Amino acid sequence: MKKLLAIILAAAMVLGLAACGGQQEGAGSGDVKPPEPQGFEPKLGTEPVEIVFWHSASDAQGQLMDKYIQEYNQSNGKQVTVNAVYQGQYSDATTLLKSILSAENYSELPDVMQMDATGKVDYFNSGKAFTASDAQTQFEESVQGSYLDAALGNWEFSGVQLGLPFATSTTITYYNKTLLEQAGWDKCPDTFGDLIRLSEDFKANKINVPVIGTVPNTPTLANWLGQLGSYVVNNKNGSDGMADKLECVDNGALKTFLSEWKALYDNGALTNDALSTSAFVAGQVAIFTSSSSNIKSVLDKVGGAFEVGVAPYLRVSSSASHGATVSGSFLAMFDSQDQLKMEAAWDFVKYMTGEAVQADFAVNTGYIPANKAAFENSAYKALLASTPQFDVGPEQLEKTPSDMRSVTVGPSTDFYYAIMNNCSDMLANGQSVDETVSKMAEELQGLLDAYKRANL
C-alpha cells in the first residue's frame, strides 16, 4: 500500500509539473501583424541605440562579419551600436529561436538574425517577425528594385518578403579541365547526354576516373525538375504557402528525370555515391556540382594540381531550360515594439545587404552579390577580370527562370533523405523507373500528409 502511494505520488508530481508547463502553449498566434502605415516619423539618429545581431558566420566569414559590424558601428552616423553574437550553426540558432518562442521569453530575441532556408517557416510563424515587407510599409520606402530578383524571391514566403538576402549562391558545375582535355573535351558537359558522351571518351582514352558521382536530394531535384518546368511540390515548391501535395508525379516530370538519371548510370557515366569536394580535389572524379560559394576554397585546395573549370549547372536534356535555385542566408528582423530599435535594425540590414558589404563579401568568399549596385563595384569588377570563374554564378542566376523556387516543406530533413534514398536504391537494386516513381511518390506524399495532420 505504501509502495503504491509513493509511486502514485511520484507520478502525480511529474505529471502535475508537466500540466503546468502545458498551459502556456497555444499562445503566439497571429502570424503576420497588420502594418501601420499612417504618419511615420523617423526617430533614428535622435538618441543612441543598441541592437543585437545574431549570426552563424564562422571561420573566415565570421571575421568578415566582425569587420563589417565594426565599420558600421564606427561610421553609421546615426548613433547605432550593433552587438553581434555568434550563435553556432544555423540549426543551433534555430533551436535557440524555437526555445525562446516557446518560453515566451521575448526579451531574449535579437533585433536582427541571420538565417538560412531551414529557418524560413519558423521565422514566418514566430509571431514576432518584423519582415522586410513590414519595414517597407512602416518606413514608407521601397528597396525591392535594388536586389537581384532571384535572390529576393528565395526569401519570400506566402507573398511576404521575409528579409533581405545577405549571402547568395547557386549550384554550379566544377570540372577537372586538365582531365577533360586529355579526353579531347575543351568545354564542360552541359547535359546528361554530354556526360554519357564524355564517359565514352574517357573509356576510349583509357582514363579510369568516374565522370560524376552524386545522389539527388531536395535542392538538386528542385533544380532538375525546375529545368523541366515542374515543381516538386505544390504552391510553387512551397513558397506561396505550405506545400501539401507532390506536383511532379502526375505531370511526368519525375519520371522523365529518373529515366535520364538511370540512363546516365546504365551507360557508366554515373557513380551511385556522393563523390564531392575531397574526391574532386584528389583527382578521383572528373565533375561535381556544388555551391558557387565554394569556388575560392576549391581553387585553393586544388592549388596547381590541375586546372579547375567552372560551368553552369548541368541540364537534364538539351530541351530543358538553364538554371538552378538560390541558396544562402538572409537577414531577418524581429519586432521589439521599440521603433528606434526597429529603425536601427532596418538601417543595419540595408547596410549589410548594400553595395559595399555585398561586393566585399563576394570578393572574399565567392558568394554572389545580391545588391545590383555591387556589380558595378570596382573591387568586384577586378575580381571578375582576374578570376572569370566567379562570373558563372551571377550569369546563371540571370538565365534561371524567374519562377524557379527552392523547396520549402515542413518535413524538410525527411524529404531530403527520402529523395536521396529512393534515387540511390533505384540504381543499387536495379529497380525500374516506374517502381521508383511510385515508391518515392508514396513516401514523400506520406511525409507531407503526416505534417499536414499536425499542422494544417
Q: Site residues for other proteins, window 372-391 (CB under 8 A)? A: none
- Residues 189-218 close enough to bind other proteins by CB under 8 A: 215
Return d(Cα 232, Cα 243) in angstroms, integer. Answer: 10
Contacting residue, 42, 48, 88, 229, with other proteins by CB under 8 A: 88
Q: What is the DSSP string of 122-177?
A: HHHTTS-B--HHHHHHHTT---GGGB-HHHHHTTEETTEE--EEEEEEEEEEEEEH
Residue list 430-449, contact with other proteins (CB under 8 A): 443, 447
Element spanning 327, H or E = strand 326-333
Instruction: With CB under 8 A as the rule, give the number of residues binding other proteins.
Output: 79
- Choose the stretch contacting other proteins; rule: CB under 8 A; options: 342-350, 369-377, 387-395, 408-416: 408-416
Report the distance separating Cα 131 and Cα 160, nearest Å: 8
Q: Could you say which of 49, 121, 135, 357 contacts other proteins (CB under 8 A)?
A: 121
Exposure string over 11-33, b if 16+ CB within 10 A, otherwise e: eeeeeeeeeeeeeeeeeeeeeee
- Degrees, nearest 5: CA angle 441-229-367: 100
Measured CA to CA, the distance from residue 8 to residue 6 in angstroms comes to 5
Helix ranges (DSSP H) in 283-354: 295-302, 339-352
Q: Would you say 196 or 285 has its CB closer to other proteins?
A: 285
The site map against other proteins for 125-164 (x = CB under 8 A) is: x---------------------------------------
Residues from 281 through 300 that contact other proteins (CB under 8 A): 281-282, 284, 291, 293-294, 297, 300
CA atoms within 13 Å, Cβ hemisphere of 170: 34
Query: What phi and psi, each to the nearest 5 degrees, are found at residue 375?
Result: -70, -20
* From candidates 58, 70, 318, 337, binder to other proteins by CB under 8 A: 58
* Closest separation in Å from C-beta 222 to other proteins: 17
Nearer to other proteins, 58 or 144 (CB): 58
Q: Which stretch binds other proteins (CB under 8 A): 24-32, 129-137, 184-192, 343-351?
A: 24-32
Question: Under the criterion CB under 8 A, does residue 453 sit at the interface with other proteins?
Answer: yes
> Of 411-430, which residues contact other proteins (CB under 8 A)?
411-415, 417, 420-421, 424-425, 428
99 near other proteins, judged by CB under 8 A: yes
**What is the spatial distance between Cα 409 and Cα 163, in angstroms, rounded to a whole number?**
19
